[in-house]
Amino acid sequence: MERYSNVVAHIQSVLPPDTRPSLSRSVIPTIIHCIDGIAQALRTSHQVSLAGTANSFGDDQLNVDVLAERIIRDEIAKCPSIATASSEEEPTERPSRETESAAHSESSEVYTLAFDPLDGSSIIAPNWTVGTIVGIWDGASALHQTPSEKQIAAILGVYGPRTTAIIAIRVPGSTPTCFEVGLGGKDGEATCEIVRSKVELLSPPFKTRYFAPANLRAAAEDEKYMKLVTHYIQQKYTLRYSGGLVPDVVHMLVKGHGIYVSPVTTTSKAKLRRLYELTPIALIMECAGASAVDPVTGKGILEEPVGDCDERGGLICGTADEVSFVLRSFGLQ
């Protein structure tokens, strides 16, 4: 993991001395390495097709879903501190290696991963940007834990014209941090560069305001959502919505402003899985000075424990003032 030494040094500079050495030297570098590997595999996966299998949720799997899952599983098995893991493709928490006890004996730090190996696979065939979502939790299970306390890091891998990763860390006793790295180099050379040492949303006034209305069809049956979308159009917000959760969230983090709305209505049920998508996204948004709340209750995404791997919800996230405006529009404030 020598190629990620600059990332290790940066993490250690923002954490208290001698805090969580395995997290900085092994766990996060391992996940970055996975993202690098998935990016390289996608570049040669010219045929995107159904794998002929379905995950435990009944979702059809693509060949690239299975490929990304295998890359992550193979790599995290080499990391002693990652005791257990579950994913959207294999939604059961299980030991990350055959001998679970080895993780506990080799390291005083014990973590579990909850990840979506390839988020946005439905838009990968037209060659749009997709991503990987990873949540890192204290202990050997993410279930029935309070996310605001036990989810201590999250990573978004972004596969587009460039391969980048957004990394957020929030551990007790340290200031929350969010930064961005760039992966890959010329002629396949493995490199890792810190692109931005601090990722955060901006303060007003904003030169340009952005909105991303997920599941726009729901506006046809939901008056509040229709009024909200109409407001953005009338106020001349710039539409930036790709249909991929990762690129739409990262757009806000790059531009410094934005609002993403994935509503839950009587005709549009919750689709995003809390463990694999919502809680990691929420941690990253909060570490970047943004907000992430549930569109039904108005509560913070990280306030409520996740009781089941298939728990789903909607999402409102982005600039704090914009999130508050959506909550008022939905009658939640």
Least Cα distance to 135 among 274, 255, 317 occurs for 274
Residue 201 resides in a domain:
no
- Regarding whether 93 and 174 lie in a shared domain, the answer is yes
Least Cα distance to 162 among 35, 28, 66 occurs for 35
- Regarding whether 245 and 159 lie in a shared domain, the answer is no
Q: Please give the structure tokens belonging to residue 153.
A: 């890091």
Strands 82-87 and 111-119 turn out to be: parallel
pLDDT score for 2: 79
Look at residue 102 and tell me whether its pLDDT is greater than 80.
Answer: no
Look at residue 106 and tell me whether its pLDDT is greater than 70.
Answer: no
Continuous segment of H or E residues that includes residue 327: helix 320-329
Residue 232 resides in a domain:
yes
Last residue of a domain, one of 163, 196, 229: 196
Look at residue 105 and tell me whether its pLDDT is greater than 50.
Answer: no
CATH number at residue 278: 3.40.190.80
pLDDT score for 278: 98
Q: How far is it, in rounded angstroms, from Cα 28 to Cα 265?
A: 37
Look at residue 50 and tell me whether its pLDDT is greater than 70.
Answer: no
- Regarding whether 151 and 61 lie in a shared domain, the answer is yes
- Regarding whether 251 and 171 lie in a shared domain, the answer is no
> Are 69 and 89 contacting, i.e. CB atoms less than 8 angstroms apart?
yes
- Which residue range is the domain that position 222 belongs to? 210-329
Look at residue 100 and tell me whether its pLDDT is greater than 90.
Answer: no
Look at residue 103 and tell me whether its pLDDT is greater than 60.
Answer: no
Q: What is the pLDDT of residues 136-195, one digit of tens each?
A: 999 999 999 999 999 999 999 999 999 999 999 999 889 999 999 999 876 656 689 999
Residue 205 resides in a domain:
no
Kindly report the pTM of this predicted structure: 0.94
- Regarding whether 164 and 51 lie in a shared domain, the answer is yes
Mean pLDDT of the region 97-106 = 55
Q: Residue 53 — pLDDT band, cuts 50, 70, 90?
A: low
Q: How far is it, in rounded angstroms, from Cα 287 to Cα 154?
A: 10
DSSP 229-263: HHHHHHTTPEE---S-HHHHHHHHHHHS--EEEE-
- Regarding whether 294 and 166 lie in a shared domain, the answer is no
State how far the alpha carbon of 187 is from the alpha carbons of 71, 81, 191, in Å. 21, 33, 11
Q: Residue 60 — pLDDT band, cuts 50, 70, 90?
A: low
Last residue of a domain, one of 132, 163, 196: 196
Residue 25 resides in a domain:
yes
- Regarding whether 237 and 177 lie in a shared domain, the answer is no
- Regarding whether 176 and 262 lie in a shared domain, the answer is no
Terminus-to-terminus CA distance in the chain, angstroms? 47
Count up the domains in the chain and report the number. Answer: 2
Which of the pair, 174 or 101, is modelled with greater confidence? 174
CATH number at residue 170: 3.30.540.10
- Regarding whether 184 and 46 lie in a shared domain, the answer is yes
Q: Please give the structure tokens belonging to residue 34.
A: 């996975």
Name the percent of the chain lying above pLDDT 90. 80
Q: What is the pLDDT of residues 194-211, one digit of tens each?
A: 999 999 999 999 999 999
State how far the alpha carbon of 147 is from the alpha carbons of 53, 185, 191, 249, in Å. 31, 35, 32, 19
- Regarding whether 131 and 216 lie in a shared domain, the answer is no
- Regarding whether 73 and 98 lie in a shared domain, the answer is yes
Residue 203 resides in a domain:
no
Last residue of a domain, one of 196, 220, 244: 196
- Regarding whether 152 and 21 lie in a shared domain, the answer is yes
Name the percent of the chain lying above pLDDT 70. 91
